Amino acid sequence: MKLFKATLIVATLAAALSATAQEATIRKNLGERITQLQNIDEVTKSPMPGLYEIRVNGTEIFYTDATGNFLIQGNLIDTKQRRNLTEERVDKLTAINFDSLPLKDAFTIVRGNGKRKLAVFEDPNCGYCKRFEQDLQKVDNVTIHMFLYPILSADSTDKSKNIWCAKDKAKAWQDWMVRDQQPAAASCDSAAVGRNVELGRKYKITGTPTLVFVDGSRVPGAIGAAEVEKHLTAAKN
């Protein structure tokens, strides 16, 4: 039994050393050959035998062989289970802890009993956001935490500050986004708008609208009311 345990320990150490050497080889070869891969965050075995996952810039995924001689950019699909493994991996990497969101820098819209929760990052000059807001009117029994996220233009920042400084933020927002009523000029401490931009950069939110659900999942882009309902239900389970 002691001999068996010793053999097992030796085999485990040998495997660990081999894995470390392979990772070093992959990092060295890719780093020397491709400038963008000089700083690799992580090298791990992918679910496909012989294929390694390369993660860079926090959430970008590539694949390579054990020596770093070949590089694949694209989605890894499990055909048996019909799963997009790359997409699932990126979703996990980009998940946001809902409870950590600084809700003091958002304003709240409550519909119905407000039991379900949703956070949204939007630019007031985003056409897709306006379309999304029209659909969002159909979603009931939800609390929406709206983060003003002006990334399109200086005018987006001006409008965001006017909305943030309005007496009724939620009304000023919906008057503009749904009814095309220009937000009145207003002034106050609008530092929250700048903090939202920094927060979005931290989480690599590059487009609006971006939706964040209580389970940490996020959805980029304008989706319809039915899709919002679907994600709200999934996030509760």
Task: Give the tens place of pLDDT for each residue, 108-122.
Answer: 999 999 999 999 999
* Mean pLDDT estimate for the chain: 91
Distance from chain centroid for Cα 128: 18
Say whether both 144 and 220 belong to one domain. yes
Q: How far apart are CA 53 and CA 61, in angstroms?
A: 7
Q: How many domains does the chain have?
A: 2
Instruction: Give the end of a domain, one of 64, 93, 122.
Output: 93
Residue 17: what pLDDT? 44
Do 87 and 117 lie in a common domain? no
Q: Check whether residue 61 and residue 136 sit in a common domain.
A: no
Amino acid symbol at 170 = A
CATH number, position 45 = 3.10.450.70
Domain interval for residue 215: 98-236
Amino acid (one-letter) located at 54: I
Residues 103 and 208 placed together within one structural domain of the fold: yes
Closest CA to 62 of 76, 83, 47, 82: 76
If asked whether residues 80 and 103 sit together in one domain, one would say no
Residues 158 and 220 in one domain: yes
pLDDT at 166: 97
* Domain end (from 48, 67, 93): 93
**172-191 pLDDT, tens digit each:** 999 999 999 999 999 999 99
Which domain-ending residue is among 93, 123, 149? 93
- Whether residue 225 sits in one domain with residue 196: yes
Q: Which pair of tokens denotes residue 232?
A: 């709200």
**Predicted model pTM:** 0.75
The whole-angstrom separation of Cα 6 and Cα 16 is 15
Domain co-membership, 79 together with 111 = no
What CATH number did the domain enclosing 128 receive? 3.40.30.10
pLDDT of residue 156: 97
Q: Over the stretch 14-69, which tens digit does the pLDDT of each residue have?
A: 444 456 888 999 999 999 999 999 999 999 999 999 999 999 998 899 999 999 99
DSSP assignment letter at 148: E
